């Protein structure tokens, strides 16, 4: 496999595939956090584990890190079975939500801690700490105390501490949740830059959908200890396979409907008004008479004075380049987004909604 070289000359040799093979985890009292999870993360991939609280995403990350032992299944780093291997022998580094920095040590000593534990020579420690600080854009900050650093700077220190040991896999557990909105956006870019410039395989846990959509190469959506769907951000957003995924990733309108005809992935339904949509699963074709759910993203509704579905503007929120509307219809309240509007429709305005066939996703109820 080709070597990945960053701007500082650090080389990632033999980047590894990370695999979870039928991983299960049961805690005391019969609490089952993971139920046979299998996935494969490619070398150099920034992969997200996403889901609501209690879905199993952090437990899976901790199993991969070696901080938890699976009740069943195997963890592979390349061709190495690391299921029972100690965390420090896996060539992985973890960044925690709390940063876990030592307040009594300087920035440089915090970063050097893992190297000191590995008995790396002092001259090499100094060189590698300086390189790590440069990588996270904190060159010259090594002598400062942790309490002199802002929240964003402390997050960079935590990243530098993980990177200084030259891991093959970087594990991040909700690392941006303690930052304000603007810092989160800035650190998204920084983390992705660092991962890509250094040829790292990275696994990132979050419940923040926007964060995942903005950063991930691929993602897995977990629910109840199982993977609901796996794919690229665009695949997950545009082609959800279940109502749970459609509702979890971004905003969507879910509408009950009855199938009247299904041919070649195109489905005609009666939702109170006739509509046409598409399925996103090759292994499922709904039969006439079947009850289904329709998923229509707010931006997929076209607002006009003529269309499929009549309605009345109930609320509007002006957001600069777009307006978010709540529209009361015979099918219930619908969210609709209008981009670059010339004006905002006032409360009580009569409108019609229509959606293109390709934007109406038909899901098993």
- Does 122 reside within a domain? yes
Q: Encoding tokens for residue 151?
A: 């929240």
State pLDDT tens for residues 300-343. 999 998 888 999 999 999 998 899 999 999 999 999 999 988 89
Q: Is 299 found in the same domain as 337? A: yes
For residues 168-197, average pLDDT: 88
Rounded CA gap, 92 and 76, in Å? 12
Q: What is the pLDDT of residue 1?
A: 35
pLDDT at residue 4 is higher than 50: no
Q: Is 160 found in the same domain as 28? A: yes
Q: What is the pLDDT of residue 91?
A: 87
Q: Please state the three-class secondary structure of 211-249 as a single string.
A: HHHHHCCEEEEEECCEEEEEECHHHHHHCCCCHHHHHHC
Q: Encoding tokens for residue 206?
A: 């979050």
Q: Is 201 found in the same domain as 69? A: yes
**Residue finishing a domain among 214, 238, 262:** 238
pLDDT at residue 15 is higher than 70: no
Q: What is the pLDDT of residue 306?
A: 83
CATH of the domain at 272: 2.40.50.140
CA distances 293 to 203, 253, 326, Å, are 32, 10, 20
**Confidence band, pLDDT 50/70/90 cuts, at residue 186:** confident
**Residue finishing a domain among 211, 238, 265:** 238
Rounded CA gap, 203 and 325, in Å? 36
Q: Is 355 exposed, middle or buried (0-12, 13-18, 19+ CB in 10 A)?
A: buried
Q: What is the pLDDT of residue 7?
A: 38
Q: Is 124 found in the same domain as 212? A: yes
Q: Is 215 found in the same domain as 332? A: no
- Does 199 reside within a domain? yes
**Residue finishing a domain among 195, 214, 238:** 238
Q: Is 308 found in the same domain as 197? A: no
- Does 245 reside within a domain? no
DSSP string, 75-127: EEETTEE-TTS-GGGTTEEEE-TT----TTSBHHHHHHHHHHHTT--HHHHHH
Q: Is 167 found in the same domain as 140? A: yes
Q: Is 209 found in the same domain as 152? A: yes
- Average pLDDT over the chain, rounded to whole? 91
Q: Which domain holds residue 340?
A: 251-364
Q: Is 149 found in the same domain as 35? A: yes
Between strands 302-304 and 226-231, the pairing is unpaired
DSSP string, 153-220: HHHHHHHHHHHTT--SEEEEESTTTTS-HHHHHHHHHHHHHHHHHTT-EEEEEES-HHHHHHH-SEEE
Give residues with Cβ within 8 angstroms of 299, minimum separation 6.
337, 339
- Does 73 reside within a domain? yes
pLDDT at residue 211 is higher than 80: yes
Rounded CA gap, 350 and 304, in Å? 9
- Does 47 reside within a domain? yes
CATH of the domain at 15: 3.40.50.300
- Does 174 reside within a domain? yes
DSSP letter at 69 equals -
CA distances 290 to 155, 190, 241, 257, 362, Å, are 51, 48, 17, 8, 11
Q: Is 75 found in the same domain as 18? A: yes
- Does 244 reside within a domain? no
Percent of the chain at pLDDT exceeding 90? 71
Q: Is 262 found in the same domain as 223? A: no
* Closest alpha carbon to 47 in 177, 205, 193: 205
- Does 246 reside within a domain? no
The separation between the first and the last C-alpha atoms of the chain, rounded to the nearest angstrom, is 45
Kindly report the backbone phi and psi dihedral angles of residue 231, in degrees, each rounded to the nearest multiple of 5, phi listed first.
170, -175
**Confidence band, pLDDT 50/70/90 cuts, at residue 14:** very low
Looking at the 3D structure of the chain, how many domains does it have?
2
Q: What torsion, rounded to 10 degrees, do the Cα atoms 203, 207, 209, 210 define?
A: -80
Q: Is 34 found in the same domain as 176? A: yes
């Amino acid at each position: 496999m080709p070597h990945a070289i960053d701007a500082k000359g650090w080389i990632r040799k033999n980047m590894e595939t990370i695999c979870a093979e039928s991983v299960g985890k049961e805690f005391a009292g019969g609490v089952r956090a993971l139920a046979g999870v299998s996935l494969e993360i490619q070398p150099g991939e920034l992969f997200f584990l996403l889901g609501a609280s209690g879905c199993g995403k952090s437990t899976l990350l901790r199993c991969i890190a070696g901080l938890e032992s699976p009740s069943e299944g195997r963890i592979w780093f390349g061709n190495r079975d690391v299921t029972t291997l100690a965390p420090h022998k896996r060539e992985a580094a973890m960044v925690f939500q709390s940063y876990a920095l030592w307040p009594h040590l300087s920035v440089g000593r915090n970063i050097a801690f893992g190297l000191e534990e590995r008995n790396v020579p002092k001259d090499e420690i100094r060189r590698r700490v300086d390189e790590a600080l440069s990588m996270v854009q904190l060159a010259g900050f090594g002598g400062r105390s942790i309490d002199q650093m802002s929240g964003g700077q402390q997050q960079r220190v935590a990243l530098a501490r993980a990177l200084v040991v030259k891991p093959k896999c970087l594990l991040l557990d909700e690392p941006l949740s303690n930052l304000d909105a603007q810092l989160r956006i800035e650190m998204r870019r920084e983390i992705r830059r660092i991962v890509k410039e250094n040829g790292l395989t990275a696994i990132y846990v979050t419940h923040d959908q926007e964060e995942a959509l903005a950063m991930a190469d691929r993602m897995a959506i977990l629910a109840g200890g199982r993977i609901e769907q796996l794919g690229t951000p665009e695949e997950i957003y545009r082609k959800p396979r279940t109502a749970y995924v459609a509702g979890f990733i971004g905003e969507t309108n879910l509408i009950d409907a009855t199938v009247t005809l299904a041919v070649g992935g195109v489905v005609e339904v009666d939702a109170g008004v006739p509509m046409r949509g598409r399925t996103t699963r090759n292994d499922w074709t709904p039969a006439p008479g079947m009850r289904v759910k329709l998923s229509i993203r707010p931006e997929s509704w076209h607002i006009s004075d003529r269309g499929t579905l009549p309605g009345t503007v109930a609320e509007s929120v002006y957001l600069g380049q777009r307006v978010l509307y709540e529209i009361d219809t015979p099918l219930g309240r619908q969210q609709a987004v209008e981009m670059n509007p010339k004006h905002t429709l006032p409360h009580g305005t009569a409108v019609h909604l229509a959606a293109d066939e390709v934007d109406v996703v038909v899901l098993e109820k």
